[in-house]
Amino acid sequence: MAIAVRALTGDEIAAALDDLAALRIEVFAAYPYLYDGDRAYEAQYLSEYAQAEDAVLVAAFDGERIVGAATAAPMRHQKAEFRSPFEHRGLDATRLFYFGESVLLPAYRGHGIGHSFFDAREAQARACGANAACFAAVIRPDDHPARPADYTPLDAFWQRRGYALIPGLVTELAWKEHGEAHESPKSMQYWLREWKNAA
């Protein structure tokens, strides 16, 4: 499978936002996100991200077509509810990078592209002077009725990448789930990796 993974910045991000929105709606429709996405929500959410200084969009290309993407930007540019769990704990968020979504079409999974997404986002974080990176994953009960029988959590992958779940470090993000009439807040668990050799 010849997939090229490239880090997009600046105006290149704006040009890829429609593709990213379509990927998010398709991939996050599945468990555990169950996202009933729409373009208006996407336009608002993604415009905030795209305006952030030092943002990166790591895109996986099959030829000209974007088949997967991952985002990152400094935590200082994130909304207050994303930053506040760190600030309330006295954790220094000034040199922290926030990793947004990783979304890859199912046909392309299992070939190391998820690792490439982390490599490229971590490279951007380090290049921008960050000494830590975090992301947040939705919290679902193990017996959630929509959980597929063959669902494999990504926790072990994230641990192998050097990230640790920080108990109690939780934020909320609202979206409309399939079967819901309106958006509702979902609890999101933070995972964190610090670089010991950071300057």
Ligand X SMILES: CC(C)(COP(=O)(O)OP(=O)(O)OC[C@H]1O[C@@H](n2cnc3c(N)ncnc32)[C@H](O)[C@@H]1OP(=O)(O)O)[C@@H](O)C(=O)NCCC(=O)NCCS
Residues interacting with ligand X, by CB under 6 A?
A: 27, 101-104, 109-115, 137, 152, 154, 156-157, 160
180 to each of 142, 146, 190, how far by Cα in Å? 20, 13, 25
Task: Give min distance, CB of 27 to ligand X, in A.
Answer: 5
105 close to 19: Cβ distance less than 8 angstroms: no
By beta-carbon proximity to ligand X, the closer residue of 139 and 154 is 154
Residue nearest to ligand X (CB): 114
Looking at the Cβ atoms of 43 and 154, the one nearer to ligand X is 154
Q: Which residue has the tokens 């994130």?
A: 78
Nearer to ligand X, 27 or 130 (CB): 27
Closest CA to 175 of 191, 188, 158: 188
User: What is the helix, strand, coil percentage profile of the chain, to 5?
Assistant: 35, 30, 35
| CA angle centred on 20, ends 113 and 151, rounded to 5° | 55
To ligand X, the closest distance from the beta carbon of 199 in angstroms equals 28
Least distance to ligand X, CB of residue 3, Å: 9
- Residue closer to ligand X by CB (options 146, 198) is 146
In angstroms, give the least distance from the CB of 90 to ligand X: 27
